Structure 1
Amino acid sequence: MQAISYWLKAYGESHQNPINQKIHKVAVPGIFLSVVGLIWSIPQLSLFGFSLNWVWVAAIPALVFYFWLSISVFILMLAYTLACIGFIWSMEILNWPVLPISMLLFGVLWIFQFVGHKIEGKKPSFFEDVQFLLIGPVWVFFKQ
């Protein structure tokens, strides 16, 4: 497993343009939120009378990855993940259409991401390594 400094440096290499950075500051956390909403929308798993939302199944491996990077990254991403889950849960309580909103957010924000990379002149990092999809939010939160 590579160190967090490696991941942040490697991710930052394709995110030098200030416009691309600004787009990422909004789009990356929004995409993370939309993915939580998409996974939340999958019908719950029922086992032995207990219902489990798939978002917890997806969050655990991601959080283990963050834990391996560093305790501070883990705490940061645990907090953000729980905030996203809380927000999506609130949307559901308010009877907002979680799935369509999440799909719209996901699509629009990815378009912005690709526009940012067109401006940057470099392809997105995840084309080289899919793990960069998990590094993006960390980079956004650590980037000043």
Structure 2
Amino acid sequence: MKTLQQQLINYAHYHRSKRNILTHFIGIPLIVYAVLCALARISIVTDPLYVTAAGVAVLITSLYYLALSFSLGIIMVILLSLLSLAAMPVAGLAFIPWLIISISSFVVGWFLQFVGHYFEGKKPAFVDDLIGLIIGPLFVVVETLFVLGLYKELEQQIIAAAGPTKA
């Protein structure tokens, strides 16, 4: 398994344009939310547990993030749990409204991703490595933490290996 730094550096090579990163701040959360809305509709009811496919997806991805970094993993657990909770009311809607919200969030999110990659002039990271689909949400959180002045050492490692962001 690649380290946190290796995963983020690999992902950063495809994301050095500030405009691309900005589109990801909106697009990736929309995509994750859309997927959780769709998966929250699939449930396994066993007394006394009520388990959804969204819950299973959050658990599996959270374990991966925790394996990469405990502190960042905890942040991801909290954020994914909150998004999963926000998806539950949508999953409870009638079929057509649920489908419209899930699909439109997914489409808008991906549209923003591709606009960002147009600015970047590079293909999305997942084209070369599917793990990029899991690293994307972590990358957005890490970039947000960098803006807040946190995780400076990690930021410097990424800049040293992938280069600085550009306008």
Provide the TM-score with structure 2 as the length reference: 0.77
Could you list the per-position Cα deviations for residues 40-63 of structure 1 after superposition, in whole angstroms to 9, with x for gaps in the alignment? 123x22346754211122222211
Q: Which residue matches 2:27? A: 27
**Relative to structure 2, which stretch is displaced further, 119-128 or 55-64?**
55-64
How many residue pairs match? The answer is 142
State the distance in 2 between where 1:68 and 1:82 align: 17
Question: Structure 2 matches for 1:1-144, cutoff 5 A?
Answer: 1-42=1-42, 44-47=43-46, 50-91=49-90, 95=93, 97-143=97-143, 144=147
Deviation at 1:91, TM superposition (A): 4.1
Could you list the per-position Cα deviations for residues 60-103 of structure 1 after superposition, in whole angstroms to 9, with x for gaps in the alignment? 2211111110101210110011110121224456x583332011
Deviation at 1:5, TM superposition (A): 1.0
Gaps of 5+ in 1: none
State the distance in 2 between where 1:89 and 1:23 align: 25
Counterpart contact for 2:30–2:108, Cα < 8 Å:
no
Provide the TM-score with structure 1 as the length reference: 0.88
Amino acid of the residue matched to residue 133 of structure 1?
A: L
State the distance in 1 between where 2:76 and 2:51 align: 21
Counterpart contact for 2:126–2:132, Cα < 8 Å:
yes
Deviation at 1:9, TM superposition (A): 1.2
State the distance in 2 between where 1:88 and 1:67 align: 22
Amino acid of the residue matched to residue 26 of structure 2?
A: V
